[in-house]
Amino acid sequence: MRAMRVHDASGRFQLDTIARPALLCPTDVLVNVKASGVVPNLRNVMSNYGERAYLTVPDLPAIYGLDAAGVVAEVGERVTGIAPGDRVYINPGRSCGTCHACRMGETINCEAFTFQGYFGFGPKSKQIYEQYPYGGFSEFATAPADGLVKLPEQVSFEQAARFGYLGTAYSGLRKAGVGAGRTVLISGASGTLGLGAVQIARAMSATKILCVARNEALLKRVQALDPQRIRTFSYGTGSLADWARAETGGLGVDSVVDAIGPGASHQITLDCIASLRRGGKLVEIGAMSDPMPVNLHQLMCAQVSLLGSLWFSVAEGQDLADMAAAGTLDLSVLEHHRYSLEQANEALANAEKRAGGFVNVVIVQ
């Protein structure tokens, strides 16, 4: 098969012809990849080999590609419920299955948790890479059958290649308790992760969705999605906390989903915390990495909770697929920038422009 592989720390992809994967485990499947998402941060991950490594990355040459969707080509002899011809999304979250967290049913907290086609969270991720070395930038990829989300016809492969962001947002919104009668503030609402959170909050029947970002033009597009429920605020134009309280009758929001990424100032997150009502929750999904001074006594007295939320389960991915099939989750707003497998380098350069959440850079085959 053809695969775009990285051979050195430059992060440049090279088209190689390698052996088509064989099913080594009876509970695995082989997927003919039709689309794969392109993560804007991918080059930063790929450059962290050797002394600069802060994540566990696959050995070179490596096949990247985090969010892959396609058609099942072959199934292991012990696979049930999945058959050749099924349209699927490969949830790339891999766990060992036997550590304490896995035995407790908390696979995302596994000490070897790894994103197939991206990076891992510890040295034990090397073992996961040996089992599942194929990312989405290849014609075929193996995956465990219990790591697949079945796709309805209403979800295109290009839309499914966005599920990593959508699933991360959905899991965070669930932890935040978003639903009917609740208000939620989404920070970074015009970005790839934040826009997904906006659309899913709508699907979850949030009563009011306060959207915060800097780009006023993109914010106007976000508000146009649902003018009745969505309110927008351009950060830096005044007090975020005062605005949020004015929009909620002086109470503050029930929850914040913080989708701003590394490099953003911690002051944005502190302002989001100040926007919460008593008993409110902030769920961090964007990986803001600026060290943040927090007054824990103040949070205790107000019973405010700060939570971190990493990735999402296969079950949550299936929820998204079912919501899209029912028409409650609208994925039609995505503008797909399609590239062939051979154009992986150009695709990554496009993704790195970070043109906003409406743009979906995807490799199609």
In three-state form (DSSP H/G/I as H, E/B as E, the rest C), the secondary structure along 135-166 is CCCECEEEEEHHHEEECCCCCCHHHHCCHHHH
Give CA–CA dist 158/334, Å, rounded: 9
pLDDT at 113: 95
Domain ranges of the chain: 2-162+334-364, 169-308
Residue 315 has φ and ψ, to the nearest 5°, of -60, -40
| Token pair belonging to 179 | 């639903």
pLDDT at 93: 97
| Token pair belonging to 213 | 């970002």
Region of poorest pLDDT, from 40-49, 96-105, 274-283: 40-49
Helices 163-175 and 192-203 cross at an angle (nearest 10°) of: 60
* Mean pLDDT of the region 299-325: 97
- Reported confidence tier of residue 300, pLDDT bands at 50, 70, 90: very high
| Token pair belonging to 67 | 């969010």
The answer to whether the CB of 233 falls within 8 A of the CB of 243 is yes
Give CA–CA dist 100/262, Å, rounded: 30
* Mean pLDDT of the region 42-69: 78
Give the rounded percent of residues in the chain with a pLDDT score beyond 70. Answer: 98
Q: Which helix (DSSP H) or strand (DSSP E) does residue 219 occupy?
A: helix 216-224
pLDDT of residue 143 exceeding 80, the answer is yes
Helices (H), ranges, 176-215: 192-203
Whether 2-162+334-364 and 169-308 share one fold: the answer is: no
pLDDT of residue 46 exceeding 80, the answer is no
Q: Are strands 28-37 and 68-75 parallel, antiparallel or unpaired?
A: antiparallel
What predicted TM-score, i.e. pTM, was given to this entire model?
0.95
Question: What CATH topology corresponds to 169-308?
Answer: Rossmann fold (3.40.50)
pLDDT at 51: 43
Give CA–CA dist 199/260, Å, rounded: 17
Q: What average pLDDT is seen over the chain? A: 95
- Reported confidence tier of residue 54, pLDDT bands at 50, 70, 90: low
- Reported confidence tier of residue 348, pLDDT bands at 50, 70, 90: very high
pLDDT of residue 288 exceeding 80, the answer is yes
Q: Region of 270 please: left (phi>0), alpha (psi -120 to 50) or beta.
A: alpha
pLDDT tens-place string over residues 237-267 = 999 999 999 999 999 999 999 999 888 899 9
Give CA–CA dist 112/284, Å, rounded: 22
* Mean pLDDT of the region 7-12: 86
| Token pair belonging to 279 | 């008993």
- Reported confidence tier of residue 39, pLDDT bands at 50, 70, 90: very high
Give CA–CA dist 253/83, Å, rounded: 45
Provide the β-strand partners of residue 33.
70
Give CA–CA dist 251/101, Å, rounded: 38
> Quick one: CA dihedral 62, 66, 71, 76, positive or negative?
positive
pLDDT of residue 52 exceeding 80, the answer is no
pLDDT at 57: 87
Provide the β-strand partners of residue 52.
none
pLDDT tens-place string over residues 201-246 = 999 999 999 999 999 999 999 999 999 999 999 999 999 999 999 9
pLDDT tens-place string over residues 184-199 = 999 999 999 999 999 9
Number of H helices, E strands in the chain: 12, 18
Q: Are strands 208-213 and 183-187 parallel, antiparallel or unpaired?
A: parallel
- Reported confidence tier of residue 272, pLDDT bands at 50, 70, 90: very high
Question: Which CATH number is associated with domain 2-162+334-364?
Answer: 3.90.180.10
Region of poorest pLDDT, from 50-64, 74-88, 260-274: 50-64
| Residues 6+ positions from 125 with CB-CB distance below 8 Å | 56, 112, 113, 114, 119
Give CA–CA dist 158/232, Å, rounded: 28
Task: Label residue 47 exposed, middle or buried (CB < 10 Å: 0-12, 13-18, 19+).
Answer: middle
pLDDT at 181: 96
